[in-house]
Amino acid sequence: MKKYIEVCYSLPEETIIEIEIIQLMEAGENIKISKSEIVENALVYSFHIFEEELEYVDILRAIVTDFIEPVEQTYTISVDVIDKLDYYAHALGISVAHLIMASVKFSSQK
């Protein structure tokens, strides 16, 4: 049985809107999905990309990405996914919020 916890991340409004758009698109197809499920699915979808990026970690650490006026959002995500997200954030030297932003972007483009 999966264990879930509530986590809070500061995300830019653009990412929050993308999550809402994905939710609306799914609702249009009669699929009920929560914002937490969208974030978790996006992360799971992106983990293989993060794994590939580990070999370029020094280059990635050199990239500076700032976002304007982050908004705190709370999601309920499985502990396994949170642990893996924390691992990649530490290994890549990139904030968890930036990894979530990238995951949502990857997910919305598939």
Candidates 89, 3, 10; CA nearest to 43 is 89
- Calpha distance 88→54 (Å, rounded): 8
What is the pLDDT confidence band of residue 58, given thresholds at 50, 70 and 90? low
Where do the domains of the chain lie?
A: 4-109
Q: CB-based contacts of 42: which residues, under 8 Å, 6+ apart?
A: 100, 103, 104, 106, 107
pLDDT of residue 81: 94
Is the predicted pLDDT of residue 38 greater than 90, yes or no? yes
pLDDT at 53 (0 to 100)? 79
Predicted confidence (pLDDT) at residue 62 exceeds the cutoff of 50: no
Residue carrying structure tokens 């249009």: 28
Averaged pLDDT, 17-42: 92
Structure tokens at 101: 């932003």
pLDDT confidence of 109, banded at 50, 70, 90?
confident
Q: Which residues pair with 75 in a beta bridge?
A: 7
